[in-house]
Amino acid sequence: MTITLAFSLLAYHNVRRVIRLQLLVIRQRLTRQMAVMTLARVLVLIVCGLPFICSSLWELNINTHEDNYLELAIFSLISSILDSVFYANFAINFYVFLMVSSRFRRQVKNVLLRKCWALVKTRRHETPSYMYSVGLDIGTTSCKICVVTSSSSSSSSSNESNRVVFTEQITHNAHIIQNEFTSFDEQSTSKILETVNILLEKSGILNNDFPIKSIQICGQMHGFMLWSSKSSRTKVSSLVTWQDQRCSTEFFSTLGSSLAHLRTGYGLATLLWLINEQNGKEDKLMEYDRAGTIADYIATILCEDSEMKSQISTQMATSWGALNCQWPIEHRLLPTIVEPGTIIGYWKTKVPVYVALGDLQCSVFSCQPDKNQCVMNISTSAQLALTVDREVSTVSSPQNDSLSSASVSSSMRVPYFDSKDLLVAASLNGGNILSAFVQLIHSWHVSLYNVSSLSLDSLWSRLIELGLHSSSTIENFSAALFGERHDPSMAASITNIRSMNMAQLNDIGVVFRSMCRWIIKNLFEMLGRESLTMECVIGTGSALMRNDVLQRELKEKVKCQVIFEENSDAAYGAALFALMR
């Protein structure tokens, strides 16, 4: 302490000498400021240090062996206070200089307000060197969000140059149990919207300072729903999904030849069925002025513009039953068909929201396939797709006007991106039949033991394990539990069961593997001869990525290279498409 005080006084003395030796007025002001600040610092050191020194000396002379506990307690309290004051001396220099020097205050104000604050304001208003694109996939069983940014100076389609900064998937549990109308398959739009809001909140994009470039929604195709533009959150119907079976063969027979390509579950077929149901009744459709897929509805909600024009992409319109991107009928509820990449509105008045896309096209886009590379996507349903030029037509399409119900092809041609189409085998039977099988085994277990100690996750893991260890599959086996659009009469079955092959049925692993093999085999049979041109198969989709048995069956089916893209899915494809706009 003595040494500190001595050197402080010497510093003050030297500063005073410097002042007298300087001639320039500006220099004198600077050194005068330094002298005042140094003197103030010395005085603070003396004021804070002397009590500490005195208490330390008193502590050396106090007798701690006497029974003077009250005096010792008081001294201990005072000593603690003085210690705190002394150590605070080393932290208050800035505030001491502010109090004693007006020039120092002006300098601090200049630095904080003019320079630092100006820098903050500049950074707030300048365009970030990087932007984020958001992709949302509204699936049949879950919703997923993906936030992507490009690591390069310009947006690129290369997956290596793009970085996923956030991704999350949540099951929406929106299925509505139909006790009376068992052929109906509907979902609660409010539950789906609630799940989307949770994903948006988790991603952090709701923060005002989050630099979002654009938003792209995609989702389950074919589905149909209605809402009112004046009350889009309250006046809304349930979602009729692609799995809906309400449109019977008898109903389709009443439609004209121009609508012979429609199948149950198509949005246009559902609309015609609803119109037919209103005959002789109060037209409940008049309550609504908008129609679209669930992805179109979510995109409308994000735009927060009730007066926006009703629009649907060529991809979604084709899944509804549009022919050559035109509606075969006229109705006030049918939205205007536009190309992918069309801006339908803005989120928070500045972030563009593009027209909703099909989850199939976005799943393929996420893999960025080259020519003659097929993409196999297995989630709730299953698809095998190959990109072709739009001018080339090699496969019969269910969109052809002259097509009759008796000659419907098992593969179809749907719009893709950039003047390209997809040749696709779109099966109704994918991960959903495996889920149905797992649920069946689980319900049997509950029936046998009255309570199930086996969780669904454990059952899935065990079946996959047994399937991998099985050495054979069942012949004359079909897992077409949901039929197919080109042949609704298809059903799941096992034929030619004899006592000699009962051993296979006793092995549940063989049954599970046979189902997985049928899913893969069915897709290639549906695509037909076009599958012979493939040089590589890219596998994606949640059901395929989680099931090693499906992956093994795919590798055994094809003789070409197989690549599994674990991080490629519809949500990522949607975000990637938005990033490249």
Q: Which positions ≥6 away from 409 have C-beta within 8 Å? A: 395, 396, 397, 398, 403, 486
What is residue 152's predicted lDDT score, i.e. its pLDDT?
55
Whole-model pTM above 0.75? no
Task: Bin 481: left if φ > 0, else alpha if -120 < ψ < 50, else beta.
Answer: alpha
Phi, psi of 363 (to 5 degrees): -65, -45
Q: Tens digits of per-residue pLDDT, 8-24?
A: 666 666 656 655 555 44
Can you give the residue ranges of every domain in the chain?
2-125, 132-368, 378-567
Read off the tokens for 415: 């719009």
Tokens in use for 126?
A: 């300048």
List Cβ neighbours of 311 (8 Å cut-off, separation of 6 or more): 296, 335, 336, 337, 338, 342, 344, 355
- Cα distance between residue 138 and residue 193, in whole Å: 9
pLDDT at 163: 85
Q: How far apart are the first and last CA of the chain?
A: 69
Query: CB count, 10 Å around CB of 243?
Result: 21
Q: Are both 132-368 and 378-567 of the same fold?
A: yes
Whether domain 132-368 has CATH 3.40.50.720: no
Enumerate helices (H) and strands (E) in the chain, giving the number of each: 19, 21
Q: Look up tokens 């030297």; give the residue.
A: 14
Looking at domain 378-567, its CATH architecture is: 2-Layer Sandwich (3.30)
pLDDT of residue 45: 80
pLDDT of residue 478: 92
Query: 3-class SS at 102?
Result: helix
| 304 close to 206: Cβ distance less than 8 angstroms | no
Q: What is the pLDDT along the chain (581 residues), one digit of tens a residue?
A: 566 666 566 666 665 665 555 544 445 666 677 777 788 878 888 887 788 788 777 777 766 666 667 777 787 888 888 888 878 777 787 787 778 877 777 777 777 766 676 666 555 554 455 688 999 999 999 999 999 987 654 545 555 567 889 999 999 999 999 888 888 999 999 999 999 999 999 998 888 777 889 999 999 999 999 999 888 888 999 999 999 999 998 999 999 888 988 999 999 999 999 999 887 776 788 999 999 999 999 999 998 765 678 999 999 999 999 998 899 999 999 999 999 999 999 998 789 999 999 999 999 999 998 888 999 999 989 999 999 888 644 444 444 433 333 345 788 889 999 889 999 999 999 999 999 999 999 999 888 888 777 889 999 999 999 999 998 888 889 999 998 888 888 999 988 888 877 877 888 999 999 999 999 999 999 988 877 778 899 999 889 999 999 999 999 999 889 999 888 899 999 999 999 88
CA distances from 423 to 25, 243, 259, 394, 457 (A): 86, 21, 21, 9, 35
Task: Give the DSSP per-residue string, 448-482.
Answer: HHSS--S-HHHHHHHHHHHHHH-----SSEEE-TT
Instruction: Provide the CA 237 distance to its chain's centre, in angstroms.
Output: 25
Burial class (CB in 10 A: 0-12, 13-18, 19+), 267: buried
d(CA 540, CA 565): 5
pLDDT at 57: 77
How many whole angstroms separate alpha carbon 134 and alpha carbon 571?
A: 8
